[in-house]
């Protein structure tokens, strides 16, 4: 683990060095681009990119002003530089965007198989996605539906809505200082890319459904740091679309996120896997679902993960680790060697993201506040999970007359396995613990872990079910009126050691 | 008599405003100024409340007030203070679509109402029209999309019908979805110092005065995609009467000042004094009666028109006559102290909704006075007028000569939409008159900046014309500038 | 039997063709805007593609100003510009592509049964566009000659059964119309004005088989009619220039 971290840091330094070479600057207005917020500049910007690409590379500089554009393709050795006050404004006409077959997606800025590219500067990319998405919907309703969109959930499907950035199979990418806002779909996706360096970006991505913060798909050697994300959907999202690829060597440092879904998420699509991932100094707040969700539901191998330093404030759930069996096509999922330490978290009683336009969906009730959960499958155990220096504050107040799962074998065995369900901390509805529920796991190590309930709860703090090997050291349970209550209940478990 | 009437009216208005003295702030009714809260019901409640309490003023201070259709009620003034914007919703269903002439601000048979202040009414008409277009294409709103645009039920800005004592003062009205403001069969109306900036969509007439009595339009600036200042008569049993339009400036991608097109009843005693027209696609002044209306006692005095496609167009037509109705009349029209420059290029080029380029070819058209066979335009006096034309009419491009066959071949087009360009090529470059009686031209200068193949003036089938002090200026000179055909009683002085 | 079948099939296909040619689409259906400021290139192009894919038909433009860059006309598509409809060429040089060697607002290469008809206008905004073209060349961004970079209004290459009828063609940046290696081209009742840029030629055709032009008016800064290369079966009649000169095909 230590070795991989040093590797990552040296990688970051290497990346910094790489991106000094694009020396020459070109002013996009010199190509005739008009920054009036009305004129559509697609072809002019594209021409400028191609020109720089063919003439040895450099930066395409946008001075202050609003530049409307449809889909453009970034090319090797070209950096788009948005100065403070410059906005790349997405066209609101959905037909101004290209459906890129390799990505099977629409985007404002594409890069396909390019090297040494970047988007930098203190300017803004504003997709105006709410308008574009609704305009697409209008075209579909009148019968002009080129993508044969079935408008599931009464919205155009994600791939028929443009996001801000989609880079695929690119190398040496710098995304620095920019603001990304209001995409119509996910926000920025880096798919099978290598050497990605994201630093000091600001993301406001909550204008329409499925607005993620950042999606890292099957990438190698990635640094994301010093950035802020506010998203309607998952914020820091690592995915694995390909059985042949995985996310590997990723460092996420000093980021702050807000989400109406999850903060840090591996998945949902999780085929290849996630390996050697380090996340440090992360703050998650006002977030509907989990601060941390790792899901291996499509055959992913998740291993060697370190999360060190988390503040999770007003977040619906804190930790959710899950092995499922959804689109695995026979590939056997693995989740092992996970360390989460130095965590302080507060879970609210009310809806953590109430008041945001695209609030997370209210699911079928009743359910008392859910615990953090580590849930494998009987045939695929989650292995070797360490929690160290963790404090989670819960509202407590679980009321058995509202919803109840007790500790009898019938009740515990009655909790469904749901191998093929979409993985969310709330998927099992009521769970029998208020602090932590662990099922189908081998090797659980808790050290200096505190669970605090602000009101008394009918459930114990921890329930273990089918856990083989566990050490619990320096545990603290704080719950009003709980004298004599057994806060750790184990069932069908062995080799459990409490110090 | 008229003057006295107006004075009484003004006094009456003064008294009224003092009666409805009480002020109510919009926030009192929960009206929000954030530009995103839809305030329709809250503003309506405020209007109803104030009216029920005996009247008063609803005060809007700086902010953006989003709303759908509002129905004005008796004795209520809406005062938009500087910086206050009444913003029209872009959702078509926020308007009274099922009512004929739906509008953002609507009143029928309501007396003593006013909209005042230095604030703004913004119809957001283009976005609204686009949203209607979506609803139509999706089969939800019923419309035949004539000319590929929502052709019915596009909300107007202001529509007042059968209202008495109306004051519109100081405000800016912009970007409505259809006509900007319509006063239909209203009486005792004063529009003073308003600004219209409405180029958002098709048919943005600046001001429509329909069958109104006792009205003044003063000191206003009107820039509109369709006719800027437009008098209409929808009702055969009604007409526009005692109307004064003074000290206004107009810009239009149609006509600057227009009578018609719909002109069922007619126009009487209309005074148009000291106005300016510029960058206007069609005529500075059009007076048309194609639908049986009777037009009489019209004075146009001191009209200055720059960069305007045509100067004067007077026309009798025979379009929507209905049963038992006779062709309209057009008589006793005086146009005096006028200056007009007509450009060689399109005068409204560069505006989003430019006036439509009509089928070509056609050389620059003359001012025209065209009645119908058996329905002469009578007693028209043009006095102290200078018209400056680009000239350059090229017979190889379009041609209408002076031979009887050429002149007789000019179509009557009794039922065509009346526009100065409707006949395509005409045989004069300065003034073409046909089917007129007792025409007086006094101190008129026709100036062409380039040589034209046509004479300046053609009088065709005119019965009685006095021409006095006419000056023709055209490069090259040595040309007979007046051609008459089937014209009797021509007297030329000096 | 087979023959009968074949004839029936042929008849059926003829019917289908003539039927599908009747299908009309309003431009607004595809979100095309007539406000003079929305650049409609992609929407109009998608409309043309869609109509062609559906077997053909007419794309109708009603009164209004439709800003666009290059449109690639496709087989069996007619563009109808009703009176008052103006296709306005955008003033950005990079919004234009070529058919053959000539950039234009309306391009087509290797298409058949195409037409532009009506009483409307195609307007090139020649002065403004030329200014931008020259700026781009002077800055070294555009490595083409002014002539290469100046879009015409219509440029067709290797197309057959072409009809351009009734419309007004105004002020291109380059020449007005260029037809190369086309078959059965019919131009009629066109009013052509090109006075904004120097040496703008009216119609250039080369290598065409069957080229007919009747009752057109050309007011251009360059030659009204220039034919290059060999064309056969050429008929030009009733076409004139401002000085009244009748145009004749050069032998």
Work out the number of other CB atoms within 10 angstroms of the CB of residue C15.
10
Whether B88 and B67 have beta carbons less than 8 Å apart is answered as yes
**CA trace torsion A205, A207, A209, A215 (10° rounding):** -20
> Which CATH number is associated with domain C23-196?
2.160.20.10
Partners of residue B77 on adjacent β-strands = B57, B114
Q: Number of Cβ pairs closer than 8 Å across B and C?
A: 67
- C25 to chain A: nearest residue by CA? A144
Chains that touch C (3 or more CB pairs under 8 A): A, B
Partners of residue B243 on adjacent β-strands = B215, B270
Interchain CB contact of B417 with C (< 8 Å): no
Instruction: Give which of A44, A50, A53, A146 to mutate to test C binding, by max C Cβ within 10 Å.
Output: A44
Both A283 and A206 in one domain: the answer is no
Instruction: Give which of C65, C79, C81, C216 to mutate to test B binding, by max B Cβ within 10 Å.
Output: C65
Whole-angstrom Cα distance, residue A343 to residue C156?
69
C-beta atoms of C219 and B360 within 8 A: no
Residue B137 with chain C: CB contacts under 8 Å: 28-29
Residue B148: name the closest of A93, C35, C22 by CA: C35
φ/ψ (deg, to 5) at A461: -70, -45
Interchain CB contact of B15 with C (< 8 Å): no
Show which of residues 111-170 on chain A sit within 8 Å of chain B, judged by CB atoms: 138, 141-143
Both A212 and A314 in one domain: the answer is no
Whole-angstrom Cα distance, residue C124 to residue A258?
50
Residue C34 with chain B: CB contacts under 8 Å: 148-149, 353
Instruction: Give which of B131, B137, B350 to mutate to test A binding, by max A Cβ within 10 Å.
Output: B137
Instruction: Using pLDDT thresholds of 50, 70 and 90, give the confidence band for residue B6.
Output: low
Whole-angstrom Cα distance, residue B452 to residue B78?
55
Prediction ipTM score: 0.84
pLDDT of residue C17: 45
**Domains: count for chain A:** 2
Instruction: Considering only CA atoms, give the Rg of chain B.
Output: 24
Q: Which of A30, A43, A135 sits opposite C95 (nearest CB)?
A: A43
C-beta atoms of C141 and A46 within 8 A: no
pLDDT of residue B320: 86
Q: How far does Cα C216 stand from its chain's mean position?
A: 15
Whole-angstrom Cα distance, residue A416 to residue A407?
15
**Domains: count for chain B:** 2
Residue B137 with chain A: CB contacts under 8 Å: 138, 141-143
* Exposure b/e, A147-162, CB count within 10 A at least 16 = b: eebeeeeebbbbbbbb
Whether A390 and A264 have beta carbons less than 8 Å apart is answered as no
C-beta atoms of A30 and C37 within 8 A: no
pLDDT of residue C129: 97
Interchain CB contact of C165 with B (< 8 Å): no
pLDDT of residue B188: 98
Interchain CB contact of C37 with A (< 8 Å): yes
Interchain CB contact of C69 with A (< 8 Å): yes
- Average pLDDT for B416-423: 95
Residue A291 lies in a domain: yes
Residue A253 lies in a domain: no
Whether C99 and C107 have beta carbons less than 8 Å apart is answered as yes
Residue B134 with chain A: CB contacts under 8 Å: 138, 141-142
Residue A135 with chain C: CB contacts under 8 Å: 31
Average pLDDT of chain C is: 91
C-beta atoms of A44 and C95 within 8 A: yes
pLDDT of residue A365: 86
Domain range enclosing A100? 1-233
- C33 to chain A: nearest residue by CA? A93
C-beta atoms of C62 and B361 within 8 A: no
- Which stretches within chain C are classed as H helix? 2-22, 41-53, 126-138, 146-149
C-beta atoms of C83 and B147 within 8 A: no
Residue C124 with chain B: CB contacts under 8 Å: none
Residue B232 lies in a domain: no
* Exposure b/e, A430-467, CB count within 10 A at least 16 = b: bbbbbbbbbbbbbbbbbbebbbbbbeebbbbbbbbbbb
Both B279 and B152 in one domain: the answer is no
Smallest CA–CA distance, residue C59 to chain B, in Å, is 12
C-beta atoms of A138 and B134 within 8 A: yes
Whether B114 and B169 have beta carbons less than 8 Å apart is answered as yes
Both A33 and A93 in one domain: the answer is yes
- C51 to chain A: nearest residue by CA? A144
Both B271 and B154 in one domain: the answer is no
Smallest CA–CA distance, residue C159 to chain B, in Å, is 28
Structural domain ending residue among the three candidates A233, A252, A274:
A233
Residue B210 lies in a domain: yes
C-beta atoms of C27 and B148 within 8 A: yes
Residue B203 belongs to domain with CATH number? 2.160.20.10
Cβ contacts of residue A124 below 8 Å, gap of 6+?
A82, A86, A87, A88, A178, A179, A180, A181
Whole-angstrom Cα distance, residue A469 to residue A436?
16
Residue A75 belongs to domain with CATH number? 2.160.20.10
Q: How far does Cα A422 stand from its chain's mean position?
A: 15
Both B209 and B318 in one domain: the answer is no
What three-state secondary structure class fits B134? helix
How confident is the prediction along chain A (499 residues), in pLDDT tens digits per residue?
A: 444 555 555 555 455 544 544 479 999 999 999 999 999 999 999 999 999 999 999 999 999 999 999 999 999 999 999 999 999 999 999 999 999 999 999 999 999 999 999 999 999 999 999 999 999 999 999 999 988 999 988 999 999 999 999 999 999 999 999 999 999 999 999 999 999 999 999 999 999 999 999 999 999 999 999 999 999 999 999 999 999 999 999 999 999 999 999 999 999 999 999 999 999 999 999 999 999 999 999 999 999 999 999 999 999 999 999 999 999 999 999 999 999 999 999 999 999 998 888 888 888 889 999 999 999 999 999 999 999 999 999 999 999 999 999 999 999 999 999 999 999 999 999 999 999 999 999 999 999 999 999 999 999 999 999 999 999 999 999 999 999 999 999 999 999 999 8
Residue A46 with chain C: CB contacts under 8 Å: 94
Both B69 and B202 in one domain: the answer is yes
Instruction: Give which of C141, C142, C151 to mutate to test A binding, by max A Cβ within 10 Å.
Output: C141
Whole-angstrom Cα distance, residue B454 to residue B402?
8
Residue A71 lies in a domain: yes
Residue B360 with chain C: CB contacts under 8 Å: 168, 191
- Average pLDDT for C169-191: 97
Work out the number of other CB atoms within 10 angstroms of the CB of residue B22.
11
Instruction: Using pLDDT thresholds of 50, 70 and 90, give the confidence band for residue C14.
Output: very low
Both A269 and A227 in one domain: the answer is no
DSSP H or E run through A299: none
Is C21's pLDDT higher than 60? no
Is B20's pLDDT higher than 50? no
Residue B392: name the closest of C196, C199, C242, C216 by CA: C242
Instruction: Give which of C25, C33, C63, C121 to mutate to test B binding, by max B Cβ within 10 Å.
Output: C63
Both B432 and B341 in one domain: the answer is yes
Q: pLDDT digits over B333-387, tens only?
A: 999 999 999 999 999 998 888 999 888 889 999 999 999 999 999 999 999 999 9
Residue A44 with chain C: CB contacts under 8 Å: 92, 94-95
Q: pLDDT digits over B280-335, tens only?
A: 999 999 999 999 999 999 999 999 999 999 999 999 999 988 778 899 999 999 99
Residue B245 lies in a domain: no
Smallest CA–CA distance, residue B434 to chain C, in Å, is 27
Mean pLDDT lowest among A79-93, B102-116, C13-27, C201-215: C13-27
Residue C24 with chain B: CB contacts under 8 Å: none
Interchain CB contact of C60 with B (< 8 Å): yes
- B131 to chain A: nearest residue by CA? A138
Residue B139 with chain A: CB contacts under 8 Å: 142
Residue B138 with chain A: CB contacts under 8 Å: 138, 141-142
Tally the residues of chain C.
251
Domain range enclosing B290? 256-494
Interchain CB contact of A60 with C (< 8 Å): no
């Amino acid at each position: 683990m230590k070795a991989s971290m040093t590797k990552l840091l040296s990688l970051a330094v290497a990346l910094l060095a790489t991106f000094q070479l694009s020396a020459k600057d070109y002013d996009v207005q010199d190509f005739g681009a008009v920054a009036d917020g009305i004129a559509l500049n697609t072809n002019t910007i594209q021409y400028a990119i191609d020109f720089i690409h063919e003439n040895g590379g450099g930066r395409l500089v946008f001075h202050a002003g609003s530049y409307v554009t449809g889909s453009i393709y970034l090319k090797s050795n070209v950096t788009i530089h948005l100065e403070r006050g410059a906005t790349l404004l997405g066209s609101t006409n959905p037909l101004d965007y290209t459906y890129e077959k390799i990505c099977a997606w629409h985007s404002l800025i594409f890069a396909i198989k390019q090297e040494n590219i970047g988007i930098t500067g203190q300017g803004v990319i504003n997709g105006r996605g709410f308008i574009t998405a609704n305009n697409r919907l209008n075209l579909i309703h009148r019968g002009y539906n080129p993508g044969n969109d079935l408008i599931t959930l009464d919205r155009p499907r994600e791939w028929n809505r443009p996001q801000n950035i989609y880079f695929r199979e690119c190398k040496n990418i710098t995304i620095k200082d920019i603001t990304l806002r209001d995409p119509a779909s996910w926000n920025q996706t880096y798919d099978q890319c290598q050497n990605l360096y994201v630093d000091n970006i600001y993301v406001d991505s909550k204008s329409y459904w499925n607005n993620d913060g950042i999606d890292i798909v099957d990438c190698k050697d990635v640094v994301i740091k010093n950035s802020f994300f506010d998203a309607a959907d998952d914020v820091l999202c690592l995915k694995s679309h390909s059985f042949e690829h995985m996310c590997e060597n990723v460092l996420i440092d000093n980021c702050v996120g807000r989400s109406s879904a999850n903060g840090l998420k591996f998945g949902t699509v999780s085929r290849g896997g996630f390996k050697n991932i380090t996340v440090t100094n992360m703050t998650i707040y006002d977030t509907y679902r989990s601060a941390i969700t790792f899901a291996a539901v499509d055959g992913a191998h998740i291993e060697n993960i370190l999360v060190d330093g988390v503040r999770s404030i007003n977040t619906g759930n804190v930790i959710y680790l899950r092995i499922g069996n959804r689109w695995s096509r026979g590939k056997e999922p693995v989740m092992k060697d996970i360390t989460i330490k130095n965590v302080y978290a507060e879970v609210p009683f009310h809806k953590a993201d109430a008041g945001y336009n695209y609030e997370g969906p209210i699911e079928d009730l009743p359910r008392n506040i859910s615990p953090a959960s580590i849930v494998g499958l009987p045939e695929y155990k989650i292995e070797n999970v360490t929690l160290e220096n963790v404090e989670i504050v819960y509202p407590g107040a679980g009321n058995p007359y509202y919803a109840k799962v007790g500790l009898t074998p019938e009740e515990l065995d009655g909790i469904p396995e749901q191998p093929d369900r979409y993985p969310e901390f709330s998927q099992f509805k009521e769970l029998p613990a208020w602090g932590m529920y662990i099922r189908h796991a081998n090797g659980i190590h808790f050290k200096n872990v505190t669970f605090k309930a602000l009101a008394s709860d009918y459930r114990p703090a921890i329930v273990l079910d089918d856990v083989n090997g566990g050490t619990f050291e320096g545990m603290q349970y704080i719950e009003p009126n709980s004298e004599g209550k057994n806060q750790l209940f184990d069932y069908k478990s062995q080799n459990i050691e409490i110090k | 008599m008229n003057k006295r009437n107006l004075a009484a009216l003004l006094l009456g208005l003064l008294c009224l405003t003092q009666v409805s003295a009480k002020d109510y702030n919009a926030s009192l009714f929960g009206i929000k100024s954030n530009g995103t809260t839809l305030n329709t019901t809250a503003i309506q409640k405020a209007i109803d409340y104030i009216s029920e309490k005996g009247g008063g003023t609803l005060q809007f201070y700086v902010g953006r007030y989003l709303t759908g259709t509002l129905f004005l009620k008796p004795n209520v003034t809406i005062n938009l203070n500087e910086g206050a914007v009444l913003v029209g919703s872009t959702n078509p269903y926020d308007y009274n679509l099922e009512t004929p002439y739906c509008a953002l601000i609507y009143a029928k048979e309501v007396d003593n109402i006013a909209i005042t202040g230095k604030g703004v009414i913004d119809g957001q008409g283009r976005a609204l029209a686009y949203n209607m277009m979506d609803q139509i294409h999706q089969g939800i709103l019923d419309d035949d999309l004539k000319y590929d645009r929502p052709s019915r039920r596009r909300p107007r800005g202001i529509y007042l019908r059968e209202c008495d004592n109306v004051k519109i003062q100081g405000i800016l009205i912009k970007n409505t979805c259809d006509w900007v403001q319509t006063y239909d069969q209203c009486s005792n109306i004063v529009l003073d110092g308003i600004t219209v900036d409405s180029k958002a969509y098709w048919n943005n007439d600046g001001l429509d005065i329909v069958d109104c009595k006792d009205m003044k339009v003063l000191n206003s600036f009107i820039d509109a995609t369709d006719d800027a200042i437009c008098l209409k008569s929808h009702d055969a049993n009604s007409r526009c009467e005692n109307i004064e339009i003074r000290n206004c400036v107009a810009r239009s991608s149609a006509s600057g000042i227009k009578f018609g097109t719909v002109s069922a009843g007619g126009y009487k005693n209309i005074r148009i004094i000291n106005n300016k027209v510029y960058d206007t696609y069609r005529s500075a002044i059009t007076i048309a009666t194609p639908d049986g209306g009777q037009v009489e006692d019209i004075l146009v005095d001191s009209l200055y028109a720059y960069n305007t496609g045509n100067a004067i167009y007077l026309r009798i037509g025979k379009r929507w006559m209905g049963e038992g109705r006779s062709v309209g009349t057009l008589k006793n029209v005086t146009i005096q102290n006028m200056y007009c420059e007509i450009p060689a290029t399109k005068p409204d080029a560069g505006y989003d909704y430019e006036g439509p380029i009509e089928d070509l070819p056609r050389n620059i058209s003359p001012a025209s006075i065209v009645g119908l066979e058996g329905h002469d335009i009578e007693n028209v006096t043009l006095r102290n007028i200078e018209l400056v034309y680009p000239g350059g009419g090229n017979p190889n491009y379009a041609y209408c000569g002076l031979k009887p066959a050429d002149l007789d071949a000019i179509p009557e087009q009794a039922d065509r939409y009346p526009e100065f360009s409707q006949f395509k090529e005409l045989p004069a470059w300065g003034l073409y008159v046909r089917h007129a009686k007792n025409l007086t031209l006094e101190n008129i200068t026709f100036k062409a900046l380039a040589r034209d193949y046509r004479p300046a003036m053609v009088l065709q089938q005119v019965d009685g014309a006095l021409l006095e002090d006419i000056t023709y200026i055209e490069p090259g000179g040595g040309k007979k500038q007046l051609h008459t055909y089937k014209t009797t009683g021509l007297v030329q002085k000096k | 039997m087979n023959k009968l079948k074949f004839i029936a099939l042929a008849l059926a296909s003829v019917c289908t063709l003539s039927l599908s040619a009747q299908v009309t689409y309003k431009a607004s259906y595809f979100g095309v805007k007539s406000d003079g400021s929305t650049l409609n290139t992609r929407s109009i192009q998608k409309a043309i593609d869609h109509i062609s894919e559906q077997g053909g038909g007419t794309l109708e433009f009603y009164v209004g100003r439709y800003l666009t860059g290059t449109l690639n006309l496709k087989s069996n598509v007619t563009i109808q510009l009703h009176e008052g409809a103006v296709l306005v060429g955008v003033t950005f040089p990079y919004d234009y592509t070529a058919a053959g060697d000539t950039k234009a607002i309306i391009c087509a290469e290797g298409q058949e049964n195409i037409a532009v008809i009506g009483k409307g206008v195609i307007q090139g905004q020649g002065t403004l566009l030329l200014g931008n073209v020259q700026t781009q060349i002077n800055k070294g961004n555009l490595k083409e000659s002014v002539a290469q970079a100046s879009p015409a209004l219509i440029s067709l290459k290797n197309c057959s059964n072409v009809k351009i009828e009734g419309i007004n063609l105004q002020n291109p940046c380059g020449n007005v119309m260029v037809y190369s290696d086309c078959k059965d081209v019919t131009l009629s009742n066109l009013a052509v004005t090109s006075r904004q840029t120097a040496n703008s030629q009216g119609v250039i055709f080369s290598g065409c088989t069957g080229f007919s032009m009747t009752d057109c008016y050309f007011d251009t800064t360059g030659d009204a009619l220039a034919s290059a290369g060999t064309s056969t079966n050429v008929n030009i009649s009733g076409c004139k220039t401002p000085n009244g000169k009748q145009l004749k095909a050069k032998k």
